[in-house]
Amino acid sequence: QVHLVESGGGVVQPGRSLRLSCAASGFTFSSYGMHWVRQAPGKGLEWVAVIWYDGSIEYYADSVKGRFTISRDNSRNTLFLQLNSLSAEDMAVYYCARGVWFGEFRYFDYWGQGTLVTVSS
Amino acid sequence: ELVLTQSPGTLSLSPGERATLSCRASPSISSSHLVWYQHKPGQAPRLLIYGASSRATGIPDRFSGSGSGTDFTLTISRLEPEDFAVYYCHHYDTSRPHTFGGGTKVEIK
């Protein structure tokens, strides 16, 4: 079955960088667009970024544009998120999610359990 | 800019009761791209409804979605103990940033 497992979270000082990974299994990774979504403490879900199935297109939330970079390695079935210039506002649980285009419908059908990023000096 | 407003923020109900959750879009959106998720603490969000009214695989029929344009509703006909959670609506945009509603927490009264 489909599994998405995030890793790479941890405690990082403001202004520093972190790289998150999402290991995918149980499906043809190279056929799906993949997303990162985050949830800050006590807040709701916030979409962060998407990358097309072949890596050709990326979109970002305004709040992370220019600081975060989404990428993927289809040979390793892995999604990445490079987080630079981190601030307290970036502290959150980061989830990867699989995007589905099914006819006219669009949705995230599988999510990982998330990895926590803590920004603190 | 699309805004999804969910109401109420918190719904206090007892098991067996009916829950009605609202998601209002401004401006109007395609119902094909309106999605509902359930999220429990420490767990991955779970897909419930896509296309505003289609239940995802394995979702019990006590969950139903309806609406179009600017007004969408998630209804849980009879709350089970495992249904107490936070529910989010989401507009899946293919060319612009995605939008989530602020969430509705369904708590035990």
pLDDT digits (tens, 9 = 90+) for B13-67: 999 999 999 999 999 999 999 999 999 999 999 999 999 999 999 999 999 999 9
Name the closest residue on chain B to residue A109, using Cα atoms.
Answer: B47
* Tokens 């359930």, located at residue: B38
Beta bridge partners of A67: none
**Whole-angstrom distance, CA of residue B83 vs CA of residue B90:** 19
Nearest CA to A63 out of A43, A34, A33 is that of: A43
pLDDT classification of A102: cutoffs 50, 70, 90: confident
pLDDT classification of B96: cutoffs 50, 70, 90: confident
Considering only CB atoms, which residues of chain B are within 8 Å of chain A?
Answer: 32-33, 35, 37, 39, 42-47, 50-51, 54, 56, 86, 88, 90, 92, 94-103
Helix (H) or strand (E) holding A4: strand A3-7
Can you list the positions of beta strands (E) in A27-121?
34-39, 45-51, 58-60, 68-73, 78-83, 92-102, 105-111, 115-119
Instruction: Specify the 3-state DSSP secondary structure of A79.
Output: strand
